Amino acid sequence: MKFLACILLIGLVLAGCTSEAPAENDEGVVPEEEITDEPVVAEEPEEILKEEVQEPELPQAEESPATQNECSTLAPDCYSCVAKKGCGWCKTSNSCFSGTSAGPAVSSCEPADWAYDEIACQGPKGGKTCEAQYNCADCLTGAGCKWCIQGSLCASADSEMECFGGWLTESFRCNYASR
């Protein structure tokens, strides 16, 4: 009895296998009319688990100021100062100091006058416009302004306004122009 049950079970299994596959002839070859280019897809495809690959997180370097000596050496203007890592420019004193984006490490400087990147170098001290400045030193605290020697006028650096006597763009020249 067990023998018959096994043969029936094997027969059912074989019948299930041959019903999905193309029939072979006596020589074990599948006739060409039964061969198709369509892919064979299992009725219940196995789910392939893909392990999610994550990039390892690199430790974030904390913002740290440079030494005051590193900042004050060869930094005559805002752009050359902020190009140095860990340095910032104080527009009030026209000086380069050791510091972070929060402010200088060794000196005091009004937050509106502290520049730690090139964008902040543009405007004059106090966050005002160029046109709101009335003396050469205040005008040229921002790299985005220029001072007219003869007209005592501060204008945006990209202004096409004429100035008799020329434009100043560097604050250290204000002392020479006022003589």
Domain end call among 106, 121, 136? 121
Same-domain check for residues 139 and 106: no
Burial of 178 (0-12, 13-18, 19+ CB in 10 A): exposed
Cβ–Cβ under 8 Å, residues 56 and 78: no
pTM here is 0.50
Instruction: Decide: helix, strand or coil at residue 40.
Output: coil
Cβ–Cβ under 8 Å, residues 81 and 89: yes
User: Residue 48: what pLDDT?
Assistant: 46
Q: Which domain holds residue 154?
A: 125-177
Within-domain flag for 103: yes
User: Residue 49: what pLDDT?
Assistant: 44
Tokens of 93: 């004193």
What is the tens place of the pLDDT at every residue in 63-94?
Answer: 677 888 889 888 888 889 999 999 999 888 88
User: Residue 23: what pLDDT?
Assistant: 58
Residues in the chain where the model's pLDDT stays below 70: 1-63, 176-179
Within-domain flag for 34: no
Domain count, the chain: 2
Q: Order of strands, edge to edge, in the sheet holding 153-156?
A: 153-156, 145-148, 167-168
Within-domain flag for 28: no
Q: Give the C-alpha separation, 146 to 157, whole Å.
A: 5
